[in-house]
Structure 1
Amino acid sequence: MAGFGRPKYPSAGAPSASTPARYQVTINGLAYGYGATGSQVTAVGKALVAKGFGKHYAEGPGPTWSDADTLNYSDFQKSLGFKGTAAGQDADGVPGAATLAKLLGSVPSKPSAPAAPAFEPFPGAAFFHTGRTSPIVTAMGRRLVAEGCGRYTQGPGPSWTLTDQASYAAWQRKLGYTGSAADGVPGKASWDALKVPAQL
């Protein structure tokens, strides 16, 4: 039913039957209805226009839900056989999950936050120079020690030193690099192989 996912009662101060519904619903973490903003609103507006339900737009559709979106959505709901345009009724112009799926083909979901990387991405060779201080350098040094390549008499610490470079050169040689390819300056392939824990 079109009302799936909407509140049982409209918010206080519900508009009269002659005024478009002005409340919001949240479906799969995304807001729809008057005042909602985001790319999901634009997607609904474009889909309405594509299906011939865009006559109330003077401009747009855009990323903020307006009365025009509500009126166009109500027209779409009525085309599906729903009735009643007062707030909270089946054709009031505020999406429910069922009508949203009919309009878009599926019900969008709010994207989840990307997972934090397990390992520190290669910061680039220029990152490693005298004077550089970063927890990434400490984490790298600890991995070098764990791999048996540490040349530290104390540390490792957060400042890039010649000892870090010597330790990294030992790691490069362990990987089979020779000559200038084992100069102690990290490259992407050797860095990725070291698997330095991500520093958040």
Structure 2
Amino acid sequence: MRTPEFEEFDPASDCDCPGCALWRRVLPFSRSRTVGHPAVHRVLAVAAASAASAAFGAVAAAPAHAAPHGPARPGVPAGDEPGTPQGGKAPLHGPGRGQTGTPGGLKTSRTTRTEIINRAKKWIDAKVPYSMLAYWSDGYRQDCSGFVSMAWNLPGNEWTGSLDQFGERVTKEKVQPGDILLFHNAKDPQKGSHVVIFGGWTDHTHTYYTVYEQTPPHTRRQGTPYAYWSHSDQYVAYRHKGLAPEPAATKPAGSGGKLITAGGRAAAGVTPYPGAAYFGPGANNRYVAQLGRILVSRGAAAYYATGPGPRWSDADRRATEAFQRAQGWTGAAVDGRPGPRTWALLATGAGRDIAAGAGPSGPPAGIPAYPGRGMFRPGADNAHVARLGRELVKKGFGKYLATGPGSRWGEPDRRAVEAFQRAQGWRGGAANGYPGPETWRRIFS
């Protein structure tokens, strides 16, 4: 998997009239497109929203004008805080056969973290369109709660008001890939309620993480501030009650490099060891990024200043070495390169995690820790903006900063960052003028 991963989103309509806003939020992916100004069809949209609420038997009826998931923020790239209305509890649906099965209950099946993430990735790869009315081929509703119900392998479609029954609360310090972050607005379920899957920390500060979520326009994976863009103080982390340990894996002779479970079968969902040639100085591939993400989830976050990436770095070497030492290995076994044995332990969740406090106290010299996207929003005023501006001037991208770098983020700063991003060969949504972890790393490298 490539890291960093850039995604482009179709911009939302510029019209802010109530009819257009309602049309975008309630029926963003209706299969029956209409012609002309969406406001003309507002009666149809309201009726459809009411009918959907009744059909799904929602615990709390959705208001006609479902509010967007977060407050409007001018200048923020489209797709950061979309509206996420959802349906209620409902049984699974079969393609072309209407409803099948029984409504979701409290029964939970055993599953592993790897299985949860792999199921989530299937929707991401398929770019499943967001809809509170439609069901995907696996029977799950195509909204945020349906996505989590699918990833957690629940017997039916749940909603944000019931998902907590299938999990147990965990603290931020203990949250791990496969857990969920849930916000349910009991007073107005359609206003802000949302649920996402935690995919692992992106840097040692634990301020950003990889999120898997179902949200307009389709299922996505991206870096998100903890716990989420809006209502962040109200998101609660939950762990699946039926979570099972990852299968122990070994690599016997003749296995062809595949990871093998104790029963002699290839471990489901586990990436086979790609070979030593994929790691080390000069390597730049998805396996390096995958290694970094796993190491972060196993306690090596302190070794990464800006988050794991596809290019092999000294941070990857030191993090791998720390994991090897955590297994009690010494001598030549601690070489900082992932061999078949190291990869098997990391990929299956086996072995010992890196002890807390075992990492370095800060990022590599010369590269300050990435402060998070929230420091570079319109109207932001902080020392990070000024620091970024000074570095852009040094790199030759200061022509937009006519009065010199300052601490208040504005359009000149955004244009300077955009120019730097385009100089890296990035286009589209990758060159939006907002510094993410990879942009930050390259500016200060």
TM-score interval (norm. to shorter): 0.3 to 0.5
* TM-score (norm. length: structure 1): 0.39
Q: Determine which structure has greater relative contact order: mean sequence separation of CA pairs < 8 Å that are 6+ residues apart, divided by chain length.
A: 1
